[in-house]
Amino acid sequence: MLLNDHRTLFLTSLREGLRRTRDLKYIKPQAILLSGVNGAILHSASQLSTTTYDFIIVGAGPGGSAVANRLSEDAKTTVLLVEAGGLNDDDITLEVPLLCTRLTPSTRWDWNYTTTPQAGLNGRSVPFPRGIGLGGSSAVNCLVYTRGSKENIDEWAKLSGDESWGWDQLLPYFKKSEKFNFPVDGHNITGQFDPSVHGFDGFIGVSVPNAPRAIDGRIIQTTQELEEFPFKLDMNSGEHLGVGWVQSLIDRGVRSSSKAYLVAPDVAKRPNLDILLNAQVSRALRTSTSGSTMEFKGVEFKDRTDGAIKTLAAKKEVILSAGAVSSPVILMHSGIGPKSLLDSLNITTHVDLPSVGQNLTDHIGVSSTWSVNSTLTFDTVLRNDTLLESLLEEWRTNKTGLLTVTSENHAAFLRIPENSSFWEEFQGQDPAAGKNTAHFEFLFQNGLSVKTDQGNFFNFPTGNVSPLSRGSVTINSSDPFAAPLIDPGLLTNKIDIVVVREAIRSARRFLTASAWDGYLLEAMNTAETDDELDEYIRQEAVSFFHPVATAAMSPVGADWGVVDPDLKVKGVVGLRVVDAAVAPSLPSAHTSAAVYAIAEKASDLIKAAWGII
């Protein structure tokens, strides 16, 4: 597609957006929820009519929201979902997809964590966003929906010792959570996705881009010009290598977070599902001991409206879904974790589980930026208040236009070429899960990156998606409300920085295609040698905020790991973990999709254990 065609598409979107008529009405999700006459939204613990439920679920992110929905499908099962934050319904920024870059860090929707000083980043401490409030991190992320490769998920089966955690068995759960929906601009999406690997009847909206970008045609043309960068029809098929259209967590032009599991009218009206907000859980409570087995069916929390410490009781189970940072922290303050650490903090050790908080694995990457010979970038939109307001009005009115997309329309998952010196340097060691799994990811961003009131830019994030570095989440205080110590150990394994370096060089090769002739003006990153690139990476790289494995599943009876394959915490009764923490390894993907699949499978496991239909 030629540049003039892109200009036409861009201007058409601006000029015609306000004139479009759509047969869809946007109702604020929380408005639906609050209209329920049966199940309750409780803003304070003082509103609780009971403190005992069959199941108490901690955290309203992807894990907790999905499990709360599925368990409450049985009208005889009472469920309480406990969330530290609020409704997350009071700002348009939370709903408009392209405004995702404004949600973190250092906002009221973020826990506002930072890492410990990272040796691999020249001693820098970097932001480590985690969402707070309904939706958790799914309410503040940048919406990219990817599952990883078949090899990634099959690795879970190997590490857990349970074949039911493999790709073929989990694919139905990926699909069960998903509500694939068609773009609001009505364009033909033939050739942009494979419908056979998607679900259409779930709760979480997934869509290919809702509006074109000026660089779309250049990217697709490059896949035709350069053999190194093949086109991939659907990177969520289990075979993800190549360049393809991004699938995003968007439902008819609106962000789709885990709140979708709670706001559907039939769910919101369930009398057996209550949601308690502003309740920060400090620990799971030991409620009894039978022989050598301890039972944890209680929860302690702080009511953030009055500061009071209160308790809840579960008849059947407590389910921690507070995320890869908070779930292990809650476990440690509950006396479940490394005995040496807990003893040093005068926390009574109930179960010595050294793996709690360990094995933190996260993606890392860095952006390279070019100035461009075009005004058709989002830099123009974001510095023109009149234009931006017109696009916001279009979104408010019809849920259409340029703001209905996330920060990229395309992504790529790629491997280091076989002829690279990389393989000789590391003696053939492959950090990926297999030869069909990516080492690095590309994101193609048409603007958004440079904080300046002049010029237009192309931003090219490149990330290592098969890292070997490992870190930890731990505590250094007996105060359960103190900030945790988050050490992702970024770039502590030498192979990881080499992968990022090779990703940058691969990105530069991508831009040598004639498709980019006359478009790129000046590179902001001019590092060339290995040493120069490594220094650039150490100074500029950041986490991609995809932490997993801090309460990893392992085989029954294993002396490592935190939960068994049924996600029950080892050595105790009545306590499970259902969130990204239980993933035993990090997929080469953004992690929301994986957590939804984990939660759907976990729901079936819990139902089967308790005979729930």
3-state secondary structure (DSSP) of residue 412: strand
Q: Which residues contact 362 (CB under 8 A, 6 or more apart)?
A: 467, 471, 488, 490, 543, 544, 545, 546, 547, 548, 586
Rounded Cα gap, residues 339 and 13, in angstroms:
60
Tokens of 522: 């000046």
Rounded Cα gap, residues 45 and 84, in angstroms:
12
100 is in an annotated binding site: no
67 is in an annotated binding site: no
DSSP state of 435: T
The single-letter code of the amino acid at 531 is D
The single-letter code of the amino acid at 10 is F
Asked if 590 is an active-site residue, the reply is: yes
500 is in an annotated binding site: no
- Measured CA to CA in angstroms, residue 362 lies from 128, 365, 589 at distances of 11, 10, 11
Backbone angles phi, psi at 164, to 5 degrees: -70, -10
Token look-up 């480590």 returns: 128
CA 438, 127, 591, 356: dihedral to nearest 10 degrees? Answer: 100
Q: What are the start-end ranges of the E strands in 181-249?
A: 204-206, 242-245
Rounded Cα gap, residues 258 and 133, in angstroms:
11
Catalytic residue among 6, 198, 240, 546: 546
586 is in an annotated binding site: no
DSSP state of 483: P
Rounded Cα gap, residues 84 and 278, in angstroms:
5
Catalytic residue among 198, 333, 439, 590: 590
3-state secondary structure (DSSP) of residue 418: coil
- Measured CA to CA in angstroms, residue 224 lies from 64, 219, 244, 504 at distances of 43, 9, 12, 21
Other Cβ atoms within 10 Å of 243 Cβ, number:
22
Backbone angles phi, psi at 279, to 5 degrees: -125, 105
Tokens of 20: 């479009």
Which of 162, 210, 221, 156 lies closest to 185, judged by CA? 210
Rounded Cα gap, residues 471 and 484, in angstroms:
13
The single-letter code of the amino acid at 528 is E
Rounded Cα gap, residues 311 and 288, in angstroms:
15
Q: What is the DSSP string of 72-129?
A: TTSTT--EEEE-SS----S-GGGT-GGGGGGS-SSSTTB---BPPPBGGGTTB--B--
236 is in an annotated binding site: no
Q: Which residues contact 129 (CB under 8 A, 6 or more apart)?
A: 104, 105, 110, 111, 112, 113, 137, 140, 545
User: Which residues are catalytically annotated?
Assistant: 546, 590
Numbered residues of the known binding site for FAD: 141-144, 281
